[in-house]
Amino acid sequence: MTHQAHAYHMVDPSPWPLTGAVAALLMTSGLAVWFHFHSTTLMALGTVLLLLTMYQWWRDIIREGTFQGHHTPPVQKGLRYGMILFITSEVFFFLGFFWAFYHASLAPTPELGGCWPPTGITTLDPFEVPLLNTAVLLASGVTVTWAHHSIMEGERKQAIHSLTLTILLGFYFTFLQGLEYYDAPFTIADGVYGSTFFVATGFHGLHVIIGSTFLAVCLLRQIRYHFTSEHHFGFEAAAWYWHFVDVVWLFLYISIYWWGS
Amino acid sequence: MALSPTAVAARRVFAAAAHSGQEGGSVRTWKILSFVVAMPGVALCMANAYLKMHAHSHDAPEFVPYAHLQLRTKRFPWGDGNHSLFHNPHTNALPDGYESPHH
């Protein structure tokens, strides 16, 4: 019988990095095909492959960690670094869109009327639904912290309740944003105001959906006894990501909704 | 940065909770915060948004064909290529004006 003389995880060969790369290729080229040749087949194929990759890759990680015990303390440390670095990269991603917004809004061009908001743009009242959205995400930050403490102290039922509440708040945010998008008096095609607004808030909304999904997976895992009071990194990663989503919203709210109105 | 009074109060309570140093009681602390601060805060903002929404007029502003708005440099890849993804005939004008007579 072979033993490893170290605490690290030598991962078994896996096809998912390759299928993920192929999915990325199909989705990007598929997007170009859609724009130029009006066919969505390639993009749809890429999306399906992406979803299958994500499901199977993360399923394998759960198997390796929760069921096979490969996530020793040094391995978990590496996963923590990984998640922190990933979230940092996302911060930079959003930084770019905030740069675009401030570039356009701090020195509005004559074409816009030399003012911000540009002439003819009716902005959303920051103290109506956007304020509600802020309260919803802040509240979800409280409930996810309740969930974390519940897990750490072995309060199974409370963990399930608080995590469910967090996810519902996430869905409520997405629902409200959807309504706002439909009711908005401006569209993405309304110059640089529309572009910066919808690209920044749009990518944020996508991250809310991703974060809600991550939390939902954690809920399923909590129900199936995957987490212990000492070891529940999957949940911590989801909570970090969720707080990041919340902070991005706060910046969006202050910059675009409030200052930019 | 000033948020709603509820959020400001919430931040004060969070700071207090963080410094309380309670180990066993922290589940209860966050549960209380969730039901006494967070959820009522959301409820207040819901009420506020609802009241404000119904307080102002429903009419969309009159259409002016500005050159810097309703841009159509490239067709949208769906439908007739002239409607944005979340197009609302009531509030969104097309390049040549609102679609419906009553907007």
pLDDT higher than threshold 80 for residue B69:
yes
User: Residue A81 has what pLDDT?
Assistant: 98
Whole-angstrom distance, CA of residue B62 vs CA of residue A135: 33
CB contact under 8 A, B52 and A119: no
**Which residues are B15's β-sheet partners?**
none
pLDDT tens per residue across all 261 residues of chain A: 678 999 999 999 999 999 999 999 999 999 999 999 989 999 999 999 999 999 999 999 999 999 999 999 999 999 999 999 999 999 999 999 999 999 999 999 999 999 999 999 999 999 999 999 999 999 999 999 999 999 999 999 999 999 999 999 999 999 999 999 999 999 999 999 999 999 999 999 999 999 999 999 999 999 999 999 999 999 999 999 999 999 999 999 999 999 999
Cα angle value A130/A131/A134 (rounded, 5°): 90
Whether the complex's predicted ipTM is more than 0.85 is answered with yes
B60 in a structural domain: no
Interacting residues of A133 by C-beta distance below 8 A, sequence separation 6+: A173, A176, A177, A180, A249, A253
**Which residues are B97's β-sheet partners?**
B94
pLDDT higher than threshold 50 for residue B86:
yes
User: Residue A178 has what pLDDT?
Assistant: 97
Interacting residues of A81 by C-beta distance below 8 A, sequence separation 6+: none
* Domain extent at residue B29: 5-55
Give the phi and the psi of residue A32 in degrees, each rounded to 5.
-65, -40
Q: Which residues of A173-197 are buried (b: 16+ CB within 10 A; e: fewer)?
A: bbebbeebbeebbbbbbbbbbbbbb
Whole-angstrom distance, CA of residue B101 vs CA of residue B94: 13
- The domain made up of A1-69 has a fold known as Helix Hairpins (1.10.287)
Q: Which residues of B touch A186 (CB under 8 A)?
A: 69, 92
User: Residue B21 has what pLDDT?
Assistant: 46
pLDDT higher than threshold 70 for residue B20:
no
Q: Which residues of B touch A189 (CB under 8 A)?
A: 70-72, 84
Parse chain A into domains and list their residue ranges: 1-69, 71-256
CB contact under 8 A, A129 and B66: no
Binned at pLDDT 50, 70 and 90, residue B10 comes out as: low
- The domain made up of A71-256 has a fold known as Four Helix Bundle (Hemerythrin (Met), subunit A) (1.20.120)
Interacting residues of A43 by C-beta distance below 8 A, sequence separation 6+: A26, A27, A30, A31, A33, A34
Rg of the Cα trace of chain B?
A: 23
B18 in a structural domain: yes
CB contact under 8 A, B86 and A136: no
Whole-angstrom distance, CA of residue A31 vs CA of residue A23: 12
Identify which has the larger pLDDT, A127 or B61.
Answer: A127
Q: Which residues of A touch B87 (CB under 8 A)?
A: 187
Q: Average pLDDT for residues B75-92, to the nearest whole number?
A: 94
Beta carbon pairs, A and B, within 8 Å: 125
Interacting residues of B45 by C-beta distance below 8 A, sequence separation 6+: A131, A132, A134, A135, A136, B4, B6
User: Residue B12 has what pLDDT?
Assistant: 55
Interacting residues of A226 by C-beta distance below 8 A, sequence separation 6+: A62, A66, A232, A234
B89 in a structural domain: no
User: Residue A202 has what pLDDT?
Assistant: 98
User: Residue B99 has what pLDDT?
Assistant: 87
